[in-house]
Amino acid sequence: MSQQRSRGKHKAVPITLECLPDDLLFQIIKPLDLQDKVGLQHVSRKLYDLLLRPPPEEGLWGEIKLSGEDITLYATTRPWGGRRFLEDWEEERDEGFMHPRVWLVKRAPHMTRISCYIAISEEKFYMLSGLLAELSRVITPATELSIQLIERCTMELLYCEAGKQPDKGMIDFWHTLSGRLTVLEIDTSDNTPNLQLQPQLLRQLTALTALTFHAGGGPDVNVLVNNTLHLPQLRTLSIDNYWAKDLVLDCPKVTDLMLDYWGGTLEEDVVHLVFLQARLERFHVRQSENFMMHAGFPVANFLDVVSLSIACLEDVGEEELFTALPLMKKLQTLDLVVHQGWLLRSLPQSLCEVTLVYTTAARWDERIVPALQQLPELECLKILIRWSGEDTDSEDSDAEETPATLSCDLRPFTALRKLRTFQVGPRGAWAPSSLRALGELQDELVRSSGKRHWKF
């Protein structure tokens, strides 16, 4: 194999552990257990600093803003996992957990916002007490604290077997955060059967302003019966249907509401939302049926909406929608999956960005164009033939197979003086004559107004 032209001697270069690049050192240290990592801190200053410092990529101490005023803390069962940790959670349960407390203590005086990403296996559950002790010590009323719980950790902290009560560790965890935690993101795909969410734990979080709850597990994991969750300060709520059944969410101040895959109908009392005084500003819904029909969504709740996104395959209660739309005088962004037979004759004049998605080209109705042409503030218009929702492969194929039937006289759009982005797609869905018109329109607009940011 080796054909040597010259036989240079091995040149002894004095290198030590500390000469290795940081990423290599991280790779060496990563598989070590906790005791060895702690021991390495005593070996030399460089190693001590290295073990406290975030690695270049996101990790245990990832996403730190160097201003010292805003940090994200990752507490995982290994020192440098970051979000990739999610991918190999089941395989990696090593002992390499570096407690965040040293790091927290060092930076505590400057912190105004702390974000925790907690994914701790049951074996390391006891470490949460240390973490929380530190958190409670450094949090001040001015500190914004957010926590992201994932998978098994969610189970450990929020769920109990049916009929059992939460243990002291769980109660203590949430009690410590009572009145302090402002942002909570919960994500679980654990499918352990016979577990029930314990809402009384969340009920203590009276300072919560944002709650995200996504569960990939089946409803059997998350069944929750006849409970009311009163979150008086909540502004942002994002949930999916797997979360709870017969749950009353009493969130009078919510302004941003995201509902994803809310199977079933509100009429069936799957989940009740109480928005007594809510004035929504952002409302995004996917796959939910009849949401507009429910008494919890009176038109009055939508009058302040600035961003509305409705992506539902089934009936959304179009009569209510069409009644409410012109009344949304502050609406700036509208993202809509258009259903068969829908005719939007009137849109709020405040709209700046409109995205219309047709799941098949056959649903395109040219009569919507006059309504669009009367939007003086319109800056961005997208007319797309696709379905962007999940689990809609069949819809995607429909879109691909759509014959080129779309046609439209687009020249009147030149009158929209603020229009900067005009996107249509896919090209295959449009009739050749309309494509030619699009090209001419682009030329005309560039020529007449000097606009350079058109996209086709």
Partner 1 sequence: MPDIVLRSNDGADHKISASTARLSRTVASLLQDLEASKGEDAELLIVPIPNVCNCTLKKVLDFCEQQRAFDDLVRASPAAQQPEVTRKTQAWRETYMKVSTDELYHLVMAAHYLDVPGLLGLCTDAMADHIRGKSPSQVRACFGLKPNLSPEEEDDIRRSNLWALS
Binding site residues, partner 1, CB under 8 A: 1-13, 15-21, 24, 27-29, 31-36, 38-45, 48, 99, 101-102, 105, 130
| Contact assessment for residue 190 and residue 154, using Cβ atoms and an 8 Å cutoff | yes
Least distance in Å: CB of 143 to partner 1? 22
Does the CA dihedral 8-14-15-19 come out positive or negative? negative
- Identify which of residues 17 and 343 has a Cβ nearer to partner 1 in the complex: 17
Closest CA to 373 of 343, 349, 338, 340: 349
Least distance in Å: CB of 48 to partner 1? 6
- Identify which of residues 105 and 446 has a Cβ nearer to partner 1 in the complex: 105
- Identify which of residues 35 and 67 has a Cβ nearer to partner 1 in the complex: 35
| Contact assessment for residue 288 and residue 317, using Cβ atoms and an 8 Å cutoff | no
| Crossing angle between the packed helical segments 168-177 and 151-158, to the nearest 10 degrees | 100
Least distance in Å: CB of 94 to partner 1? 11
- Identify which of residues 36 and 69 has a Cβ nearer to partner 1 in the complex: 36
Give the CA distances from residue 339 to residues 17, 56, 312, 321, 363, in Å, rounded to whole numbers and listed in that order. 64, 47, 9, 12, 7
Beta partners for 113?
70, 144
- Identify which of residues 38 and 415 has a Cβ nearer to partner 1 in the complex: 38
- Identify which of residues 102 and 415 has a Cβ nearer to partner 1 in the complex: 102
- Identify which of residues 1 and 66 has a Cβ nearer to partner 1 in the complex: 1
SS3 of residue 90 by DSSP: coil
| Contact assessment for residue 331 and residue 358, using Cβ atoms and an 8 Å cutoff | no
The tokens of 127 are what? 């470490």
- Tell how strand 195-197 and strand 159-161 pair up: antiparallel
- Identify which of residues 23 and 443 has a Cβ nearer to partner 1 in the complex: 23
Least distance in Å: CB of 11 to partner 1? 6
Least distance in Å: CB of 18 to partner 1? 7
Least distance in Å: CB of 132 to partner 1? 13
Least distance in Å: CB of 29 to partner 1? 7
d(CA 231, CA 204): 9
Closest CA to 98 of 149, 39, 146, 141: 39
- Identify which of residues 108 and 285 has a Cβ nearer to partner 1 in the complex: 108
d(CA 231, CA 245): 17
Q: What are phi and psi of 71, to 5 degrees?
A: -130, 160
Q: How far is CA 110 from the centre of its chain?
A: 28
- Identify which of residues 6 and 226 has a Cβ nearer to partner 1 in the complex: 6
Least distance in Å: CB of 93 to partner 1? 17
Q: What is the DSSP letter of 113?
A: E
DSSP 300-357: GGGTT-SEEEEE-SS---HHHHHHHGGG-TT--EEEEEEPTT-------TT--EEEEE
Least distance in Å: CB of 50 to partner 1? 13
Amino acid, res. 132? L
Least distance in Å: CB of 41 to partner 1? 5
